[in-house]
Structure 1
Amino acid sequence: MTINTTPISAGRALDALRAGHAAQRAGTLTASWMLHGRPGIGKTEIVSQLAAETGSRLFDLRLTTIEPQDLRGLPFYDHDARRTVWYPPQDLPDDPDRPAILFLDELTAAAPALQPTVYGLLQERRVGLHVLPANTFIVAAGNTVDDGAIAYEMGTALSDRLIHLSVVAEASDWITRYAVPQGLHPAVTAFIRTRPDLLDTTADALQRGRMIACTPRSWARVSAILRAVPDRTLRDIMIAGTLGDAAAAEFILLEQEIAATVQVSDMVAARPSDRTALYPANLHGLTALVYALVTLAERETLPDCIAIVADIRRLGTLRDDPAFARLPLAELTTYGMELLIERALAQGWEEAFRTSQPYAAYMADRAP
């Protein structure tokens, strides 16, 4: 069954959930939400980030691992009242004083026998006599039968209880809203910026009958591998087992090139007059340099990071190399400045920009 709604990036899906959460707190909208998307697209991360931002306790229920009675609770015979009562499970929110997010993950893979129990949670916000507190925000997630994952078609009785968000991988959104804030390895971020088509290759892998595909989740795992495993041979084996051999071969070549040319710590520590020779001579290396500077920037090093990014636009003159004239140096400088400004604003370091001569010169060059 087709999910006939507008596909959106993970960042826009998070924006929609933020708006829905704020509306529920204001008492103007109470609804249950459904995140559709391929495996590894970032659905769980979206809900986790929303919980962190709103100070909500996250109740993460993997519906493929539970039975209907796990949600209904256990029966207990009350001898005085001469009737059966139910003890609700601890996996459901019950504190009216603390906001909660109930995350019903893998909804489309749940056994059909479980779905009627889930209906009550999504629509009436209750299971049996256990009513969810008013401060509970409900989000479900799942894959479709076309994603190569275990999934059942969603019936209309279930579908009608939800606001549906179809999440797709979008490279620029992933870089800006996830890779840079999370400090992923600069080689990963630089590679996806130049090869956005390899952020999510699930559809192609399914068509070719291949088990391993690139996904946003697998690229985050590659970042962790790069930082955790010093042995290059073993690291390359792990990367191939995460991305598949073709994508891994292309990425490994770029990562080796970046490792040989990007010297971030040396550039930050060097005198300004000595930095020119340390700049990478290709776009991949310069892009990775920008991401590395943004990731490593601290209050003390931010002025140097600003100066290094500002000089990227002048490399054609500073290095007297015609190869730089063919690169989009001005665009990369602007992009790097935007990322550094975002980091500075988030950390309260904006004074570094107000007092930076390289930044003032960069702004003067941009003036009409």
Structure 2
Amino acid sequence: MLATKTIGEAKDTLRKLVSYSLDGDGNAPPVFLWGGPGIGKSAIIQQIVSELGMDVEENFIDLRLTQLDPVDLRGLPKLDSDEFVRWSIPHFLPRDGKGVLFLDELNLAPGAVQNAAYQLILDRQLGEYKMPSRWVIISAGNRPEDRAGVNPMKSPLSNRFIHWEVETNIEDWKDWAYKNDVDERVIGFLNFKPEMLYQFQPEQSEHAFPTPRTWERVSQLLEIGFTDTNDIASAIGLEAAREFQSYISMKEELPNPQQILDGENIIPERPDILHVIITSLIETAKHQTGHEQRLMEYAEQLPTEFTVLLIKDALRAGIQLQKTQKFTKFVQKHKGTIIENTQNIT
């Protein structure tokens, strides 16, 4: 049984491993991330490279082994003299500097290609090629149960990696979604129904299903102007699209969030309506200034779980609640236990 981490936990641990190698303290062990399709395994690697101040173009190599033949890794032989043959070094392998070599979809590659990669992963070299010391090897792939057509990984290769199974997490996803301007209707719906973030069923044959990646597609469709149920279903499937559209319809019937920011205390009893109001309120407030105190006043009138939701998501959206006196008093009153991890968001 594999060790399990959320996307956020995996990202934090990988950042430490990468930093360890970049600082020249030693070679970090190679890591293999296992997980279902579309959960963001590949995306977090690029994020780590950027967050550590490196250039993705120069310090990140995304090598898809499914697109290579064994000779592509080893390099072509060339005659060095009348007696010797040397192997040319593939141009895509790092020569110097520092960074991350990302072997995506490793277990989708044929066995012969995996064999060719074995020496690179095990010994950090291929023939005469040696990988620079400040480069880290990270790999990722789907699980056998995901029906992704994976090939068995041989034991000597598997034994070289540290293995983590990565899972989705709504809090981690919202950290990313607010930073990347995901449509507030998508965020609001998944706040209301977090179980819809990931709905992959390997035994079913649908082409479209909800994952973090396909919800990003929904946000892109909405930005372009595609709002029809069938258009949304093309990304996440018909059942999820119908639920999402029901949420949208309910949202359109609610009061304008500007009324709350202007001082009206509209506090519905239904949790689904509160979810809609909170995300709409945050979306409106983040494009204006001077509403921080009002948001704290409104948050304090809500049931505790919605108080926490409003405060945490407002901070994720970049609204500076922590600068208000009410925020300071609130944190002191609850001693940080109710709004766990809020300090990290700020």
Counterparts of 1:62 and 1:83, CA distance in 2: 31
**What corresponds to 2:221 in structure 1?**
225
Counterparts of 1:256 and 1:39, CA distance in 2: 30
Counterparts of 1:360 and 1:180, CA distance in 2: 23
SS of the equivalent of 1:213 reads: coil
For residue 77 of structure 1, the aligned residue among 73, 76, 79 is 79
Q: Summarize deviations over 1:184-217 as a string: whole Å, max 9, x none.
A: 22222222222222221112xx334433321111
**What corresponds to 1:63 in structure 2?**
65
SS of the equivalent of 2:164 reads: strand
How many Å apart are 1:333 and its aligned residue?
2.3
How many Å apart are 1:94 and its aligned residue?
1.0
Contact 1:186 1:288 in 2 (8 A): no
**What corresponds to 2:344 in structure 1?**
none
For residue 304 of structure 1, the aligned residue among 291, 294, 304 is 291
**What corresponds to 1:340 in structure 2?**
314
Decide which moves more: 9-18 or 48-57. Answer: 48-57
**What corresponds to 2:305 in structure 1?**
331
**What corresponds to 2:5 in structure 1?**
8
Give the RMSD, CA atoms, in angstroms: 2.9
**Compared with structure 1, are the counterparts of its residues 22 and 359 closer, same or farther at alpha carbon in structure 2 (3 Å cutoff)?**
closer
SS of the equivalent of 2:39 reads: coil
SS of the equivalent of 1:164 reads: strand
Gaps of 5+ in 1: 315-327
For residue 255 of structure 1, the aligned residue among 225, 230, 248 is 248
Contact 1:5 1:164 in 2 (8 A): yes
For residue 184 of structure 1, the aligned residue among 182, 185, 209 is 182
Alignment of 1:41-60 (within 5 A): 41-56=39-54, 57-60=59-62
Contact 1:32 1:161 in 2 (8 A): yes
| Amino acid paired to 1:86 | W
How many Å apart are 1:26 and its aligned residue?
4.8
Counterparts of 1:103 and 1:185, CA distance in 2: 30
Alignment of 1:121-132 (within 5 A): 121-132=120-131
**What corresponds to 1:323 in structure 2?**
none
| Amino acid paired to 2:295 | I
Counterparts of 2:255 and 2:104, CA distance in 1: 41
SS of the equivalent of 1:139 reads: strand
| Amino acid paired to 2:190 | I
Identity of aligned residues (%): 27
For residue 18 of structure 1, the aligned residue among 8, 15, 20 is 15
Structure 1: 4+ residue segments shifted above 6 A: 363-367
Alignment of 1:149-298 (within 5 A): 149-175=148-174, 177-203=175-201, 206-229=202-225, 231-233=226-228, 236-261=229-254, 263-264=256-257, 266-267=258-259, 272-273=262-263, 275-276=264-265, 282-292=270-280, 294=282
SS of the equivalent of 2:251 reads: helix
Counterparts of 1:226 and 1:189, CA distance in 2: 13
SS of the equivalent of 2:95 reads: coil
Aligned length: 330
Counterparts of 2:332 and 2:150, CA distance in 1: 56
**Compared with structure 1, are the counterparts of its residues 102 and 365 closer, same or farther at alpha carbon in structure 2 (3 Å cutoff)?**
closer
**Compared with structure 1, are the counterparts of its residues 51 and 259 closer, same or farther at alpha carbon in structure 2 (3 Å cutoff)?**
farther
SS of the equivalent of 1:90 reads: coil
How many Å apart are 1:132 and its aligned residue?
0.9
Q: Summarize deviations over 1:283-307 as a string: whole Å, max 9, x none.
A: 3444344345555655x83431441
Q: Summarize deviations over 1:31-84 as a string: whole Å, max 9, x none.
A: 1110101110111111111111123411001111111121222322234x7422
| Amino acid paired to 1:232 | T
Contact 1:8 1:166 in 2 (8 A): yes
Gaps of 5+ in 2: 336-346
**Compared with structure 1, are the counterparts of its residues 296 and 134 closer, same or farther at alpha carbon in structure 2 (3 Å cutoff)?**
farther
**Compared with structure 1, are the counterparts of its residues 329 and 188 closer, same or farther at alpha carbon in structure 2 (3 Å cutoff)?**
same
How many Å apart are 1:149 and its aligned residue?
0.7
**Compared with structure 1, are the counterparts of its residues 363 and 74 closer, same or farther at alpha carbon in structure 2 (3 Å cutoff)?**
closer
How many Å apart are 1:361 and its aligned residue?
7.7
**Compared with structure 1, are the counterparts of its residues 295 and 6 closer, same or farther at alpha carbon in structure 2 (3 Å cutoff)?**
farther
TM-score, normalised to structure 2, is 0.84
Counterparts of 2:2 and 2:240, CA distance in 1: 31
Contact 1:200 1:214 in 2 (8 A): yes
**Compared with structure 1, are the counterparts of its residues 267 and 26 closer, same or farther at alpha carbon in structure 2 (3 Å cutoff)?**
farther
Contact 1:108 1:142 in 2 (8 A): yes
Does residue 147 of structure 1 match 2:146? yes
Contact 2:99 2:134 in 1 (8 A): yes
